[in-house]
Structures are given as C-alpha cells and as structure tokens.
Homo-oligomer: A and B are copies of this chain.
Amino acid sequence: MTEKLSDTGRATMLAPLLENGWEMNAAEDTLCKTFEFADFTEAFGWMTRAALWAEKWNHHPDWRNVYKTVEVKLTTHDVGGLSALDAKLARKLDSL
C-alpha cells in the first residue's frame, strides 16, 4: 500500500534529495527539480530511460521539456501528496 509520507519518512527520504537539488512545494506537497542536458537528444534520451522506470513502477512524473531542459514535478495523486514512490523515482532520476 502506498501511503503519504510520515514526518519520519520525510526526514529520512527527502533530506538527501533536498541536498541534491530537489525542492519541495509545501502547499502542493510536491518535489520539483530542473534537469539540464547538453542538447535535445541528451534530454529526450534521459526522458526515455526515465519513462521506462516510471512505467515499470506505475508511477509517472509531471514533466516539461523545452529543448535541453526537463522540469520534473513528483507527487502521488492517490494519497494527495508525497509518498515513498516519489522519493524512489527521484533517486532513480538522479541516477540515470
């Protein structure tokens, strides 16, 4: 079962992400980060790898691509805020 992150979960899971360029929107309870690449092929290649993980985990980002930039917003609609799935996808996006 996916659940909204508890205070403890936030402290342990979100802290390393916030140190790695992710920003929280407290009002929306979302995690956001802008990824910059060398060009469009690098940006879209990264999105393609990310898309395979998102589909595999059935957890999809809200993302906008403008040439070599990808703005990502993560949240879990089913729980109305951040869940462990968002932290997991954020870590994967950082690692790709």
Which residues of A are in contact with B by a Cβ distance under 8 Å?
40-41, 44, 47-48, 51, 54-55, 60-67
Contact = CB atoms under 8 A, between A and B. Distances in A.
B64 A63 contact: yes
Contacts of A40: 51, 54-55, 60
Per assembly, the copies of the chain total 2
A45 to B, nearest CB: 9
Contacts of A64: 62-65
A73 to B, nearest CB: 9
Contacts of A65: 61-65
16 contacts: A40-B51, A40-B54, A40-B55, A40-B60, A41-B55, A48-B48, A60-B66, A60-B67, A61-B65, A62-B64, A62-B65, A62-B66, A63-B64, A63-B65, A64-B65, A65-B65
